[in-house]
C-alpha cells in the first residue's frame, strides 16, 4: 500500500467515524426537541433509530481502528438499542398487550 492510498483510506475512515458520531449525537437533539414540545422528558422512537444507526457506523469505525474497548462499548450499546426498538414495535401492535397477558396467564 502506498502512502497516498493509505492517506485516502485514513480520510475515508475518519469521515465514517465523524458520520457515526454525528448520527449518535443527533439522538440527543431529537430527544431534547421532543421533550421541549411535550414539556416533559420523553424518549421518542427516533432516538433509538439514531442510536442504532450511529452505533453501527461507530462500531465499523472501531473495528477498523481495532480498538477493543470501543468495539465492546458500541456492540453492547447496539444490543440495548435493538431491544428498545423491539419494545417500541411490540407496543405499537394493537394485539401486543393481549398476547403478553395471555402468555403470562399461561406461564
Q: Any idea where the domains of the chain sit in the sequence?
A: 3-91
Residues recorded for the chain: 107
Of 60, 59, 62, 55, nearest to 24 by C-alpha is: 55
Mean of pLDDT values over 67-91 = 95
pLDDT at 94: 73
**Can you tell me the distance from the alpha carbon of 99 to that of 32, in angstroms, rounded to the nearest whole number?**
33
Q: Which residue has the higher pLDDT, 82 or 104?
A: 82
Q: Which residue has the higher pLDDT, 4 or 64?
A: 64
- For the stretch 27-49, pLDDT in tens is 999 999 999 999 999 999 999 99
**Can you tell me the distance from the alpha carbon of 37 to that of 7, in angstroms, rounded to the nearest whole number?**
45
Mean of pLDDT values over 80-98 = 83
Amino acid at each position: 500500500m502506498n502512502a497516498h492510498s493509505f492517506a485516502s483510506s485514513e480520510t475515508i475512515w475518519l469521515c465514517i467515524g465523524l458520520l457515526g458520531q454525528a448520527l449518535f449525537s443527533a439522538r440527543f437533539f431529537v430527544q431534547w426537541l421532543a421533550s421541549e414540545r411535550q414539556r416533559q422528558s420523553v424518549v421518542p422512537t427516533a432516538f433509538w433509530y439514531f442510536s442504532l444507526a450511529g452505533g453501527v457506523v461507530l462500531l465499523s469505525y472501531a473495528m477498523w481502528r481495532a480498538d477493543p474497548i470501543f468495539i465492546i462499548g458500541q456492540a453492547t450499546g447496539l444490543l440495548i438499542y435493538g431491544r428498545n426498538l423491539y419494545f417500541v414495535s411490540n407496543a405499537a401492535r394493537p394485539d401486543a398487550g393481549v398476547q403478553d397477558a395471555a402468555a403470562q396467564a399461561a406461564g
